Structures are given as C-alpha cells and as structure tokens.
Amino acid sequence: MRDDPAAVSVSARPAPITIDRNRSAVIVVDMQNDFGSKGGMFERAGIDIAPIIRAVGPTAKVLAAAREAGMPVVYLQMQHRADLADMGAADSPHRQRHARLSVGEKMIAPDGRESRILIAGEWGTQIVDALAPQPKDIVVPKHRFSGFFETELNTILQGLDAKFLIFTGCTTSICVESTIRDAMFRDYHCVLLEDCTAEPIGNGNSRSNHDASLLTIEVLLGWVSDSKTFVDAVAG
C-alpha cells in the first residue's frame, strides 16, 4: 500500500498506522443533545458535559477533512422507542441503569418544545448543531452501548468496503470503547482521536476512565491519535 496514492501514514500510539483513504470511514459516536448540549439528559442529571463540548471543535475539523478526502462519515445515534420496548425487561441492567437518567420522561427542550429524554425523533437524540450530518453522511440508530448491537452498522461498513475506522464521540469508556471492541472483533482497524472524545465517569480522579480506555485501546484494541495529526495526514 506504500505505493498507493490513497495510502496515508498517521502517527499514533503504539505505532504509526498506514490507512487507505479509499477504505476508511469516520465514526461519530453519540454526539447528540442529550449527552453534549445544555439542557440534555447528562446535564439534567448533574453530569459535567464540558469535556464533551470541548470535543466538538476538533471533531468538526476531522469531519471536514474526511469529507474533503472523500471518506464516508457515519453517525451513531443513541435512542429508544417511544414505548421503551427496546430497553430490555424491567429487571434488565440496561433499563435499570438508564432509569436513573430519567429516560423516556417528558421535559421542555431548550428550544421550548416538549420533548422526551433519549427517545427517537426528539430534541435530545438529535446530533449537536455544530456536527450536524451532511446529505451524504450516514446515520445509524442504536439502542445499546455498542454501535454493532442489533444495528445495520456492520452491513453498511462492508458495503463501503471499509477496513479502517476513525473514531470520535462520547463517551470514551462506554459507547466509544464498546463499539471499538466490537469493531476489533470484526477485524476492523480502529483509530481513536483522543481530543475528539470525552468521558464524565471518573473525571475528577487522578486517572479517569477516559485515560484507562485510551490505554486499553492503544495496547490491545487499536490505535490512538489526535485530530491535528489526522487532519494533517489526510491533507498531506
């Protein structure tokens, strides 16, 4: 692939990785209002969303560079049905843990509309305005942490002939890492851009869950780089 004009070397940990622009896709994990906007589910639950907000700017630059290079952009969108039937049984861990975040409850969105928390078609599940999908982008709804669980993601990526996945989004140790794990099990080469992801869990500790996930990914699951390195590599 070194003689291929589509080959791009990206500096990363634990080592540089050469990706094929023609077989690469950028994955945007759950960068939606309920997680990354004021008035969304996280902020209403008292969770600090500042790190997620900080990831928006670098992510926007990555998406612009990817689109310019002809790389597909795939959004994952966490959401549940209005009847909550896809949350699992009443005693399922997924439903129990999300009940703490008031999933399904009515609220007034910042734009004044009545909405429901983490429900398909509502304000909270819309992608944040600064990262709004473009006409050629692909949006994949999901109802569990991993973007591969009971979704069309793998079929879509196979249709794109994708081998290299560039990851952005939130949160690092939950939906991002869960999706990367499942992608690695399917033999995709995963590169996480560390300034394009964020994690509220353990954020006040000396080593956060964000840090732990970065270490796990670079050691076992894939590669870790950053937005500037990726943008410069693709532009070059």
- Taking a C-beta distance cutoff of 8 angstroms, is the pair 95, 86 a contact? no
Active site residue 142: yes
Active site residue 163: no
> Would you give the DSSP letter of residue 21?
G
Q: Which of 142, 170, 182, 226 is catalytic?
A: 142
Q: How do beta strands 17-20 and 24-29 pair?
A: unpaired
Three-state SS for 200?
coil
Q: Which of 30, 34, 137, 195 is catalytic?
A: 30
What is the secondary structure of 124-167 as a DSSP string? GGSBPGGGPPPTT-EEEEESSSSTTTTSSHHHHHHHTT--EEEE
Q: Which of 175, 182, 190, 226 is catalytic?
A: 175
User: CB neighbours of 28 closer than 8 A, spacing ≥ 6?
Assistant: 59, 63, 73, 74, 75, 76, 127, 131, 168, 169
Nearest Cα residue to 132 out of 197, 77, 199: 77
Active site residue 175: yes
* Residue positions annotated with a catalytic role: 30, 142, 175
